[in-house]
Amino acid sequence: MSICPLEFRYGSDEMKRIFSRNNMVKRMIDVELALAKALEEVGIVPRSRYSELSKCMYSVNIESIDRYERLVGHDVVALLSAINESCGDISRYVHYGATSNDIIDTTWALLIKDALSIIKNKLINIIKLLIALSRKYSDTLMVGRTHAQHALPITLGFKLANYVYEFSNSFCRLVSVESRVVKGKVAGAVGTMAGYRGAGLEVESKVMELLGLRSHEITTQVVPRDSFAELISVFAILASQAERFGIEVRELMRPEINELAEGVEGRVGSSTMPHKANPVECEKISGLSRVLRGLVIAALENIPLWHERDLSNSSAERVLIPHAFILIDEILDTLNDVLSNLRVFPENMLRNLELSKGLIMSESLMLKLTDRGLSRHEAHRIVKELTHKALKSGKDLLSEALSDERILKYLNPEELREALDFKKYLGNYRELIERSIKHAESLISPNQPNQNVPR
């Protein structure tokens, strides 16, 4: 019986496979086998056991593990009991010198490594989609809004390039946190490696080499939980960025604005209002982002464990880590769909740009007057008076300026028209777009090292 919607509604199959029970057990066996091989190579246990163990350990079934766990109440002991049942006497040295979290934490590292590869690839694809859209709409004029009010003209490409930059920052954070969280541990009951007779560092090195991991520098019985909390915090930031874009689409999809819209065909907006086309994909991003941000608190509270460890983090992490990955996976897939099917209405952008009848260009006029000799304070006062007058009369700012002697004293009609031309007050938007894109491409290019990513 499925209860959690992450089982049947959200998350890709590839992500769910990584955190499936079968795969988690397989990865735990991978770690136990790597330890068995390392122990043989170092000479702590007799040789020839590893080859036999590798033939029987993977035949362990979930039902057997569950049966033992009901009896002993310990997941790793249950696994070891099932291995003993499957392999018999040759399992004598399985788990030798190890503690449960050597297996659990190293398994988490393997799972997180695989899952992060998926997340990074999906984020790279989103950044590439945003880059393509930024270039496509680099010159498409629209209103720039602050406090949800008309501010200055921008272009859609400029708006999207800001998201290119934000998401490339999250890519940096993912790469950075990966270097701290994808690490294993084979250090025994309190982290001193006492069970390995002075060869602990060699055992650890061989295990990590076999598994393709690096080891933590030092641990207690468990690896520090700060890197797990950091990972989920990075996911929460990424989800919040995705939500910011989702809110952008939701706001600009309002019928009275109608500049952007979700473009998925055939979706039903309402069970009772056939005309409705709702931004349901972007709203889903918002909803799931709230859940993901909520996981950060539990992840942070897992850091202050007692002394060399207690068990309070364990049950939380069984929920936290798979759910965090499946949530961010679904959020990124949804954002990909939104970007791939984004509808853009340049004609409505131009219509909305002209709603203010030129008032959006008041800063440009003020600065032109300042250039011609007026103090900035005086220029601001005069232009503010003009804008209020235009609002009262219903005329555009150009008409009011052309009839104001204070303005004409400094600017002739042609200069006024130029000062109030939307296209001539976009600053260095093209260079800024390209700078954002080049920065992102330097980070995500497979042919270049990520030199700008902190390690």
Distances (CA, A) of 127 to 155, 353, 413: 18, 28, 44
Q: Which fold has domain 99-186+211-351+432-444?
A: Fumarase C; Chain A, domain 2 (1.20.200)
Q: Which residues pair with 451 in a beta bridge?
A: none
**Which of 111-120, 268-277, 381-390 has the weakest average pLDDT?**
268-277
Residue 87's CB: how many other CB atoms inside 10 A? Answer: 20
How many alpha carbons fall within 13 Å on the CB side of residue 214? Answer: 8
Catalytically annotated residue among 147, 275, 307, 377: 147
Q: Compute the distance between CA of residue 288 and CA of residue 281 in angstroms, rounded to an integer.
A: 11
**If DSSP codes are grouped into helix, strand and coil, which group holds residue 219?**
coil
Radius of gyration, CA atoms only, the chain: 30
pLDDT at 451 over 80: no
Tokens of 36: 């068995």
The sign of the torsion formed by the CA atoms of 216, 220, 222, 226 equals negative
Catalytically annotated residue among 20, 51, 59, 270: 270
pLDDT at 266 over 80: no
Q: Compute the distance between CA of residue 289 and CA of residue 284 in angstroms, rounded to an integer.
A: 8
Q: Which residues pair with 154 in a beta bridge?
A: 142
* Residue 147 a catalytic site member: yes
The single residue listed with the structure tokens 């296209």 is 423
Global confidence as pTM: 0.93
The sign of the torsion formed by the CA atoms of 325, 328, 334, 336 equals negative
Q: Which fold has domain 359-419?
A: Ribonucleotide Reductase Protein R1; domain 1 (1.10.40)
Q: Mutual orientation of helices 100-136 and 200-211 as an angle, nearest 10°?
A: 40
Work out the average pLDDT over 192-220.
97
* Residue 2 a catalytic site member: no
Burial class of residue 413, CB neighbours in 10 A (0-12, 13-18, 19+): exposed
Work out the average pLDDT over 166-190.
97
Q: Mind listing the pLDDT tens digit for each residue in 92-110?
A: 999 999 999 999 999 999 9
Pairing of strands 149-155, 141-146: antiparallel
Domain locations in the chain as residue ranges: 27-32+35-93, 99-186+211-351+432-444, 359-419
Q: Mind listing the pLDDT tens digit for each residue in 282-327?
A: 999 999 999 999 999 999 999 999 999 999 999 999 999 999 999 9
In the chain, how long is the greatest CA-to-CA distance?
102
Tokens of 114: 């695989």
Element holding 80 (H helix, E strand): helix 75-87
Q: Compute the distance between CA of residue 327 and CA of residue 452 in angstroms, rounded to an integer.
A: 28
pLDDT at 276 over 90: no
pLDDT at 41 over 90: yes
Q: Mind listing the pLDDT tens digit for each residue in 315-368?
A: 999 999 999 999 999 999 999 999 999 999 999 999 999 999 999 999 999 999
Q: Compute the distance between CA of residue 427 and CA of residue 153 in angstroms, rounded to an integer.
A: 10
Work out the average pLDDT over 264-293.
78
Percent pLDDT > 90 in the chain is: 90
Rounded to the nearest integer, the mean pLDDT of the chain is 93
Q: Phi first, then psi: give them for residue 144, nearest 5 degrees.
A: -90, 130
CATH of domain 27-32+35-93: 1.10.275.10
CB 126 within 8 A of CB 328: no
Which pLDDT does position 267 carry in this prediction? Answer: 63
Which pLDDT does position 449 carry in this prediction? Answer: 45
Burial class of residue 282, CB neighbours in 10 A (0-12, 13-18, 19+): buried
The sign of the torsion formed by the CA atoms of 76, 79, 85, 89 equals negative
Q: Mind listing the pLDDT tens digit for each residue in 341-354?
A: 999 999 999 999 99
Q: Compute the distance between CA of residue 112 and CA of residue 90 in angstroms, rounded to an integer.
A: 31
Q: What is the dihedral of CA 433, 436, 438, 442, to 10 degrees?
A: -160
